[in-house]
Structure 1
């Protein structure tokens, strides 16, 4: 029986990865958005593909949790904008929910039991988002899509976007279906790119700006405004500091910086290894490599390799003392993890934007003799379900000695 459109009363259970909570109704699992653990709600089923679960939105709260607050955006409601997940939760409780999700993913996918704290970044829960991708609806107004839908919800403003970031796109009408990438850089300049399909071909056109300026890790960066950079303005400095603290690369050492982007972490690692050391920065984006080479031209110890990480690793020589990696949301994957452990680094510093992908990769590390030693989590995406983690992975100590999954040689070759 298809429950789509049915309204059900549900007692809301624990939070789950993805911005919803779990309820059980008539023997089925219901993933409920716009609810909080412990609440009793009336929920309208929005998606039911059969099987053991369906999806629903809480349309009326019968018994509210004490952490429930009024969302700062009127569009953060059932059937409307899908950009935020937790505006109805107090900010400190949002971080608690994310901590529970990270702990649950580590336990379920990696067998790791440990307490998790999600730390706030400076600036508060609003006015932080420096990058937004919008789409024009049928009326030509720019907006965001509804949750799990192609329907566009037009915006007049967005309270989590940096003030002024969206002025250039919300003030005019666009061809329906046009996608718009907006970046506000560290100097307060807006950059706008239009993505459209013309006669069956996808076309990108820069409408404003193009080269972003950012300031992090004690350096000024200039690069493609629509290339990868941390979305929260405080995230780059925060993550670079943790990576540097945990990497501890010795002077003259060898370190790999995988999925390096324009070289944020490579700049910190290069200072650690000094002129006699070497940082190998691996990045698949050709423009990012070019921008990184220009940004770090004063650091000749940084050697760039352009290509997919799993391909480049096959040809890299030497045993790195430390490997740093910041993979995409899908994670590094088994092939990359195994390539790393085969070189037996002393430490691996893993930056992750998805706790499930992190947990899967930690399980692979564990199967090859490495363990999670430290973990920090940051609320780099307030009001959403996303969370940024940094993990320190080291070899297991077996019988008082290090257990290396790879060869036992040390030093560079």
Structure 2
């Protein structure tokens, strides 16, 4: 669900550009995948963003959004005239046009889904950061055998009430609810908002340690069962923390990364910054005894105040795990100003990552390593961990 408009700001009304083209059908050849779970096609020179299609296919599309004057249209592939060799039957009966909008790529093999995600990541890095990289999106083991099929991995679900009183999920870019009896990507023990209260305990075994983390029942935690381990181990591997080093963990949530970093840098200093007060209350419990200091504040505001109070301040290592919108210049610039030896940037959006990598480059930091993980099979989402180091550093 999209966030509400900020108070005091008017939402801009959509201006029609001509007669609606919704429902019109065209025969097109599908081009490359694009960020957002669709592919790009063209009809009479106009771009069409097509869902339920794959690159190279010949399809008939039906327009779902757009008018005669629109610069682009949105559409669904409603008939496949020449199918890709990577096309498969979706495992979910509502992963179809006008069906559930939760999954984007159920009609592709898992291997090809990862190729599509890698292509999007490469394109964003090229366009927004000027980098030409080969990227591989790696599968991540879950705790169920069917993880190999990309199903039953999502440990938290948010269903809507359907018209018949049952549960459902929303259509793509719509508030309409599609009734659903079973979601194939939902973990058998998936939690739902309002299902219990207080805290739940998540146990993470990574890098030879096992730590328990308390998190609010409705608070943020990675939804793939294998995510905490692979992200922690990747951050530790890329940063290579040493005893005595100082660490800044930004957008730290309940302290997942700090919990594993603190023992590695002891007797060094670890500071944790998170804007959500509930999360930091749990972080204080989770990090008790580690020596980590927890701050409840907006990250950009905390960094600005730190720079005023200690203009010559320095830290050795930084972990950035921002929300989908990314860190942006207000955070990137002061982080670069701390002159860290290495920065681990955990990202869930390729465009935001690429933009921030480009901003870091302007601040004297280069992309020295990148890992991509398929933590959201069947969807277009991909999780990355990037290593950024000073341009003149010999750390590679």
Q: Same fold (TM over 0.5)?
A: yes
Please give the alpha-carbon distance, in whole angstroms, between the structure 1 residues aligned to 2:153 and 2:195.
Answer: 23
**What's the TM-score, normalizing by structure 2?**
0.89
Please give the alpha-carbon distance, in whole angstroms, between the structure 1 residues aligned to 2:198 and 2:171.
Answer: 29
Q: Does residue 1:220 correspond to 2:212, yes or no?
A: yes
Please give the alpha-carbon distance, in whole angstroms, between the structure 1 residues aligned to 2:376 and 2:316.
Answer: 32
SS in 1 for 2:186: coil
- Give CA-to-partner distance per residue, 1:56-98, whole Å, 9 cap, x none: 0000100000000000000000001000000000000000000
Q: Which runs of 4+ in 1 moved over 6 A?
A: none
More strand by share: 1
Q: Does residue 1:16 correspond to 2:34, yes or no?
A: yes
Partner of 2:7: none
Which of 295, 298, 301 is the matching residue for 2:289?
A: 298
Partner of 1:366: 361
Q: Does residue 1:148 correspond to 2:173, yes or no?
A: yes
Which of 347, 355, 373 is the matching residue for 2:350?
A: 355
Partner of 2:231: 239
Q: Does residue 1:84 correspond to 2:74, yes or no?
A: no
Please give the alpha-carbon distance, in whole angstroms, between the structure 2 residues aligned to 1:294 and 1:285.
Answer: 15
Please give the alpha-carbon distance, in whole angstroms, between the structure 2 residues aligned to 1:44 and 1:210.
Answer: 46
Partner of 1:54: 73
Gaps spanning 5+ residues in structure 2: where?
Answer: 1-18, 142-146
Give the C-alpha shift of residue 135 in structure 1.
1.4
Please give the alpha-carbon distance, in whole angstroms, between the structure 2 residues aligned to 1:387 and 1:210.
Answer: 30
CA RMSD of aligned residues (A): 1.3
Please give the alpha-carbon distance, in whole angstroms, between the structure 1 residues aligned to 2:196 and 2:251.
Answer: 28
Give the C-alpha shift of residue 209 in structure 1.
4.5
Which stretch of the first structure deviates more once superposed, 315-324 or 276-285?
315-324
SS in 2 for 1:243: helix
SS in 2 for 1:138: coil
Q: Does residue 1:66 correspond to 2:99, yes or no?
A: no
SS in 2 for 1:292: helix
Please give the alpha-carbon distance, in whole angstroms, between the structure 2 residues aligned to 1:376 and 1:127.
Answer: 24
Please give the alpha-carbon distance, in whole angstroms, between the structure 2 residues aligned to 1:54 and 1:20.
Answer: 12
Which of 53, 58, 63 is the matching residue for 1:40?
A: 58
**What's the TM-score, normalizing by structure 1?**
0.85
Please give the alpha-carbon distance, in whole angstroms, between the structure 2 residues aligned to 1:295 and 1:372.
Answer: 31
Please give the alpha-carbon distance, in whole angstroms, between the structure 2 residues aligned to 1:339 and 1:296.
Answer: 25
